[in-house]
Structure 1
Amino acid sequence: MSGTLPVQDRRNAQDRRTTQASKPSVPTAASMDSKKGGGKYSTLPFMKEDPYTDLVLVIEEKKLYLNRSLLGCASTYFNQILTEHQNEKKKTDTMELKIVGNIYQEFVDLLSVLHPAVNKDLNERTALRLLPLLEEYKMDVMKDKCEKVLLNSLRKLPLDSKPAASSSSRNKKDDPADILVRYMKIAEAGNSRNVLDQCVKMFSESNVSLEELKANPHVSHRIKAQVFQNRMDSTLEQLVKVEAELEKEKQENEALRKRRGLKSNPGSMDDVSKTQPTQSKAGPTRVRRYKVGTKESLSVSRSQLN
């Protein structure tokens, strides 16, 4: 993670007893916070030493008081470091590890979720902040939880929303393209294949603008090329479907024209209608009508003939 020492440098962290509270070598976060008149961190249990403290993390000249088992069980990296130091020192010694980098707030967020006395809910903002840190310190279980939170947030992202009219950060942060790029940058830094694949899929199967992705220098060219290729393949697939529908419609129209152009079979109603004589120009043909009499009138006619 940017701002932290490489793994081999962190392995050389100093291991010494915790300085007594009367002469602290490094100010604690709680004491610094009280001097500022705020109580933001004062209630967190890892801001001060307690009977269970046997590990002190020093980050940005601030101390965090922990029990070794908390980090040892959650992180394979810390488990290895703590095991090596435990073999060199007595088990009752308090270990102090200095971590270089501007990641104090990330560790506070991490411990707030991880510490059983706090058990803070893991939200989208915290998951984005912690994902690279969890990958760096090999906290696989916590990383899986962060991935689930981020994937759930991505599924709720409305891709059909219009981009913000203003380019200000307040409006831009709600742009789906900007959100996807931000997730992709964090996913690459945290080596999260699941989150990265979901972002690539959403970019590929939607009409979200690619300008933000193209201009962002934090997303690798490999991922950009994958998104552009997927978008081209998707567009080509849509064109093939449209072409097939047009060809089907063309064949149906051609078959309909052929049916209309076929000659009718002999003796059909169409032939009869065509062979009926037309009326003469002189006028309609007169039909001679005969009046049929009753039975009595017919008998009288026969007697007269006899």
Structure 2
Amino acid sequence: MSGTIPLQDRRNDRRTTQASKHSVPAESKKGGGKQSSLPFLKQDSYTDLVLVVEDKKLYLNRSLLGCASTYFNQVLSEHQHDKKKTDTMELQIVGNVYQEFVDLLSVLHPAVNKDLNERTALRLLPLLEEYKMDVMKDKCEKVLMSSLKKLPLDAKPVVTSSFKNKKDDPADILVKYMKVAESGNSKNVLDQCVKMFSESDVSLDELKASPHVSHRIKAQVFQNRMDSTLEKLSKVEAELEQEKQENEALRKRKGGKSGSMDDMSKTQPTPSKGGPARARRYKTFGNKVSISGSTSQLN
């Protein structure tokens, strides 16, 4: 039994089409290396689903995609009644996403169980959103959030694991993350990028020039940066005003002390060379004592 049933995707005008349901012979694979040894590149006794991507076939058990993706679960369930137990269902994926599916299945397939790294997460996030693989998408977001928090915003251009052999400054990296986050509808990653752009001195030139970031996000970053600058200026203005008031109070205190000391110097008599002004001078002449201001004689 065969048929062609287009199923319109909700995001990027990509269609998953059920092309046919029949036993599919194993496809010969040329070349060597690790990728050619992946279990889903050849048919085995568990194969009951074939994905055709860019005219290449990926051999799976439908439970692998059905459990991981609400989208594929719906597609497989809708056509389950048309399938015999001996049939192998074939689904055609429209779009240049063969490598993305290889990366996805390398992480998802229990016989491979590849670690999810930053580079793979960036590649997979839009695909996971498109095919509604929420659990895997959540894992990708955690990997990307962890990588973002380690990004030194004040550093010189660095080589990241996602873009080997290419030096990127923090602005380049943030723009690439924002592009992926918007395409993959990842609010967590997008909010983190906006926050890092807004609260740092990273150049906005790359963001402004990027055609891949929406005007809404650009406007949000520019507004946040402006608000942050105004807040900093307000703090500086408040500190200057406080310093001005403290200097004025200090000047008044010094002025008051200086005036009272001047008044005291005017009212008190000037000390004489012989001693304090109020001390009486006296001399003795035999039995006579002469005291300035009055004289008495002692016999």
Q: Could you say whether these structures have the same fold, taking a TM-score greater than 0.5 normalized by the shorter chain as the test?
A: yes
Corresponding residue to 1:104 among 80, 83, 98: 98
1:90 aligns with 2:88: no
Give the structure, 1 or 2, with the largest relative contact order (CA under 8 Å, sep 6 or more): 1
**Contact preservation (8 Å) 2:144, 2:189:** yes
Match of 2:269 in 1: 277
Structure 2 gaps, min length 5? 1-6, 285-298
Corresponding residue to 2:244 among 244, 250, 256: 250
Task: State the 1:41 CA deviation.
Answer: 1.6
**2:202 partner letter:** V
1:233 aligns with 2:238: no
**2:24 partner letter:** T
CA distance in 2 between counterparts of 1:171 and 1:250 reads: 54
1:113 aligns with 2:107: yes
Task: State the 1:262 CA deviation.
Answer: 1.9
Deviates more, 1:212-221 or 1:86-95: 86-95
Instruction: Describe the shift of the 1:285–1:255 C-alpha distance in structure 2 as closer, same or farther (beyond 3 A).
Output: same
Query: 1:176-191 counterparts in 2 under 5 A?
Result: 176-191=170-185
Corresponding residue to 2:256 among 254, 259, 262: 262
1:49 aligns with 2:47: no
Deviates more, 1:237-246 or 1:170-179: 170-179
CA distance in 2 between counterparts of 1:9 and 1:159 reads: 37
CA distance in 1 between counterparts of 2:198 and 2:24 reads: 55
Corresponding residue to 2:144 among 142, 147, 150: 150
CA distance in 1 between counterparts of 2:85 and 2:211 reads: 47
Instruction: Describe the shift of the 1:211–1:171 C-alpha distance in structure 2 as closer, same or farther (beyond 3 A).
Output: farther
Paired positions, count = 271
Task: State the 1:182 CA deviation.
Answer: 0.3
Corresponding residue to 1:18 among 20, 23, 27: 23
Query: 1:59-208 counterparts in 2 under 5 A?
Result: 59-162=53-156, 173-208=167-202
CA distance in 2 between counterparts of 1:170 and 1:97 reads: 34
Higher strand share: 2
**1:68 partner letter:** R
Match of 1:32 in 2: 30
Instruction: Describe the shift of the 1:118–1:72 C-alpha distance in structure 2 as closer, same or farther (beyond 3 A).
Output: same
CA distance in 2 between counterparts of 1:276 and 1:144 reads: 87
**1:67 partner letter:** N
CA distance in 2 between counterparts of 1:163 and 1:127 reads: 22
Structure 2 residue matching 1:188: 3-state secondary structure: helix
**Contact preservation (8 Å) 1:52, 1:67:** yes
CA distance in 2 between counterparts of 1:163 and 1:277 reads: 78
**Contact preservation (8 Å) 2:24, 2:88:** no
**Contact preservation (8 Å) 2:18, 2:89:** no
Higher helix share: 1
Aligned Cα root-mean-square deviation (Å)? 2.8
**2:237 partner letter:** E
The normalised TM-score by structure 1 is: 0.80
**2:55 partner letter:** E
**2:269 partner letter:** P
The share of aligned pairs that are identical, in percent, is 77
CA distance in 1 between counterparts of 2:108 and 2:228 reads: 42
Task: State the 1:290 CA deviation.
Answer: 5.7
Task: State the 1:62 CA deviation.
Answer: 1.1
Match of 1:301 in 2: none
